[in-house]
Chains A and B, each alone.
Chain A
Amino acid sequence: MLKQVRARYRLTLSLRRWTKTVILVALVLIFLVPFFYMVGSAFKTSTDINSYPPSILPTEFYGGNFQTLIETAPFGQFFLNSLKMAVISAVGVVITSALAGFIFAKYKFRANKLFFALIFATSMIPFEMYMIPLYIDMVNAGLGNSFVGIVSPYVIMSFGVFFMRQICMQQIPDDLIDAARIDGCSEIQIFVRIVFPLLKSAIAALAILAFVEGWNAFVWPLIMAQSNTLFTMEVGLALFQTTFNVDLGAVAAGSLCSIAPILLVFLLFRRQIMESIAMTGMKG
């Protein structure tokens, strides 16, 4: 008797848990409908896209949108530009942040607090605030409409310096540095050979974040790039979708190409990305 009651109780419990999970998954899927719609549209024919009622899935699988995309505009080039930008951003941010973070954490000198405070304060100022003077400086430096000009604001990240300083304070013991010094390491050797390898996981997390930021950049490349050989995916897509007689299937295919790398990176490194953003709440 008791056994039966207990079994029934367990059944209702698991049933309730299952319904809860199903409802939850359904809600999350509804939240993500725009993505499904985009993926579906990337494989729709043009008549299929403008059909009513709208459907998420294509009625027939059509792969020609990607071809149209590449034929109308040099999206292969745009993709490579975005990739170049994201990779250089990741490498640059990691080097500058690890170096500055390590020095701010472990060396005592008079301007330490002041420099760090100045760098940290810039993290609260949105980029849109100072992009006009920055643009003028770039043009005056002869870097207008150049890849160097587009990528250079993305090789530093104030959040990265803050993050690395925090990690160095927690994970690098002073005695280790002293021991290396006694063994005859120069300061740069200490950083390159000892500190940098020890920060591996934090550096990986920061590199991923910087990659995403570099890939997602829009306003700055939009105002800097005049020739379309310099366009990134974002700029190319934004301008492409405003052109007259635009092929919606091709735009969807382009959107998919722009989102897919970031989605892939996110699904591979979900934990690291969410943890590092949660740690101090990175700006967008």
Chain B
Amino acid sequence: MKKTTNRFGVRGGRTNFVPIYVLLGVVVLLFAVLRIFPIFKVFYMSLFDWNMAKGTQDFIGFKNFTDMFSDATFTSAMLRTIYIGLEILIITVPLGLFIANAINKNFSRRSRTLVQTGLFIPYIVPMVPTVIMWKWLFNTKYGLINYVITLLGGSNLSWLNNGALAEQAIVIITVWKNLGYCVLIFSVGLAGIPRVYYEAAELDGASSGKTFWKITLPQLRPVLVYVSVIMLIRGFNVYTQAYILCSDASGSPGYVVRTVVYDMVENGFKFYKMGYAAAEAVALFVAMFLFSIVQFVFGDEERMDAWRSKLRMAKGR
């Protein structure tokens, strides 16, 4: 019998596979050089006193990390970043879910698209001009936001000079920018839940609240975990917002709200302390990793529950 597959498992044994694998090799090489090696190298570099200005590359073990955690600038930046990241997460995800659920249930196709599109515009446009616009809206003297606050009977807030308020400004901008993304992904997730579940719930006379907690939320769990992890990563990497918002001719940028990425860029590209900056990146990565794991565990626990109850049903209760 004629052999129909070659050793690559592709039919037509005589074809020459070398050129196409060479091309794949080029793409894989690009990924290796531009993504994979740098990712490993950041861990390696964090163990060195790697100064680009002096040209030193001395192995110092974990000294960068011990230095870092005794440096108040870094520790406060880290705590601030975690705080900002978590705040962004716990506002964006529930709000996005609420909006997606509302428009999915009550709205016509056209108004659903209208809301999705409107909320999505901030997500797609570049960050720099977006934050510049917000910077003016937050302006203490002439800003639209303070104007509205005074109209409502409040007093002017110095959004950009007060650390705590500037943090909130960053959170507001980031939530505003990412809300449309959450709504879109949640809408797709909601559309994927089989209608029969809701019909059954309706037959049983379940309240809409109960339907949400018992059907929508468990069914949406994987999407929820995915979006939460993405939002957390974005929140932990806040940089542009701090760079633009907290800079002007009189103050150095990012001084009011120093995030980890901001501190990292400054140490790396202003003071050329590359090893130290790499160590900061590693610390941020570890923080993101730990918080993501927490989210995955939450997601998985529920999925296991669903699986267990399915098993119970299959066995006949």
Stretch at the interface among A1-9, A67-75, A125-133, A165-173: A125-133
* Bound: A254/B129 CA distance, A: 8
Given contacts A35-B121, A187-B16, contact A20 B111 (CB under 8 A): yes
- A186 near B188 with CB under 8 A, answer no
Stretch at the interface among A24-32, A58-66, A199-207: A24-32
* Bound: A181/B17 CA distance, A: 11
- B185 near A32 with CB under 8 A, answer no
Whether a CB of chain A sits under 8 angstroms from the CB of B249 is: yes
- A133 near B41 with CB under 8 A, answer yes
Given contacts A99-B24, A122-B39, A156-B30, contact A129 B126 (CB under 8 A): no
Q: Which residues of A contact B37 (CB under 8 A)?
A: 133, 137
Q: Which B residue's beta carbon lies closest to that of A256?
A: B129
Given contacts A103-B20, A153-B34, contact A24 B115 (CB under 8 A): yes
Whether a CB of chain A sits under 8 angstroms from the CB of B295 is: no
- A115 near B132 with CB under 8 A, answer no
Q: Which residues of B contact A124 (CB under 8 A)?
A: 229, 233
Instruction: Please pick, from A181, A262, A281, the residue contacting B126 in the complex, using a CB distance under 8 A.
Output: A262
Indicate with 1 or 0, residue by residue over A96-120, a CB within 8 angstroms of chain B CB atoms: 1001100100011100000100110
- B249 near A255 with CB under 8 A, answer no
Q: Which residues of A contact B239 (CB under 8 A)?
A: 128, 219
Distance in angstroms from B89 CB to nearest chain A CB is: 15
Q: Which B residue's beta carbon lies closest to that of A241?
A: B132
Instruction: Please pick, from B41, B137, B226, B240, the residue contacting A218 in the complex, using a CB distance under 8 A.
Output: B240
- B42 near A274 with CB under 8 A, answer no
Distance in angstroms from A34 CB to nearest chain B CB is: 4
- B24 near A238 with CB under 8 A, answer no
Chain A binding surface SS class: helix
Given contacts A54-B142, A129-B285, A186-B19, contact A218 B128 (CB under 8 A): yes
- A277 near B132 with CB under 8 A, answer no
- B147 near A212 with CB under 8 A, answer no
* Bound: A255/B34 CA distance, A: 30
Distance in angstroms from B58 CB to nearest chain A CB is: 15
- B184 near A274 with CB under 8 A, answer yes
For window 227-284 of A, CB contacts with B under 8 Å fall at 233-234, 237-238, 241-246, 248, 251-252, 254-256, 258-259, 262-263, 266, 270, 273-274, 277-278, 281, 283-284
- A237 near B141 with CB under 8 A, answer no
Stretch at the interface among B3-11, B67-75, B302-310: B3-11
Distance in angstroms from A218 CB to nearest chain B CB is: 6
Distance in angstroms from A43 CB to nearest chain B CB is: 14
Whether a CB of chain B sits under 8 angstroms from the CB of A89 is: no
Instruction: Please pick, from A103, A122, A129, A262, the residue contacting B42 in the complex, using a CB distance under 8 A.
Output: A129
* Bound: A137/B34 CA distance, A: 9
Indicate with 1 or 0, residue by residue over B41-68, a CB within 8 angstroms of chain A CB atoms: 1100100000010000000000000000
Stretch at the interface among B195-203, B208-216, B263-271: B263-271
Given contacts A118-B36, A186-B16, contact A34 B126 (CB under 8 A): no
- A134 near B34 with CB under 8 A, answer yes
Q: Which residues of B contact A252 (CB under 8 A)?
A: 132-133
Distance in angstroms from B127 CB to nearest chain A CB is: 6
Distance in angstroms from A148 CB to nearest chain B CB is: 12
Q: Which residues of B contact A31 (CB under 8 A)?
A: 118-119, 122, 176
Q: Which residues of B contact A241 (CB under 8 A)?
A: 132, 135, 244
Instruction: Please pick, from B21, B42, B244, B268, the residue contacting A238 in the complex, using a CB distance under 8 A.
Output: B244
19 contacts between A and B (CB under 8 A): A34-B122, A56-B144, A96-B30, A118-B31, A128-B239, A128-B264, A129-B285, A130-B41, A133-B278, A152-B34, A182-B12, A242-B253, A255-B128, A255-B132, A258-B129, A266-B120, A266-B121, A274-B117, A281-B227
Rank and list the top 10 A-B pairs by shortest CB-CB distance, nearest first. Answer: A255-B129, A108-B9, A28-B118, A133-B41, A130-B38, A187-B20, A133-B38, A244-B249, A122-B35, A216-B126
Which residues of B approach A to under 8 Å, CB–CB?
Answer: 8-12, 15-17, 19-21, 23-24, 27-28, 30-31, 33-39, 41-42, 45, 52, 107, 111, 114-130, 132-137, 141-144, 147, 176, 178, 181, 184-185, 187-188, 226-227, 229-230, 233-234, 236-237, 239-240, 243-244, 247-249, 253, 261, 264-265, 268-269, 274, 277-278, 281, 284-285, 288
5 extra A-B contacts, CB within 8 A, seeds A37-B133, A54-B143, A139-B52:
A218-B126, A223-B265, A243-B249, A266-B125, A274-B184
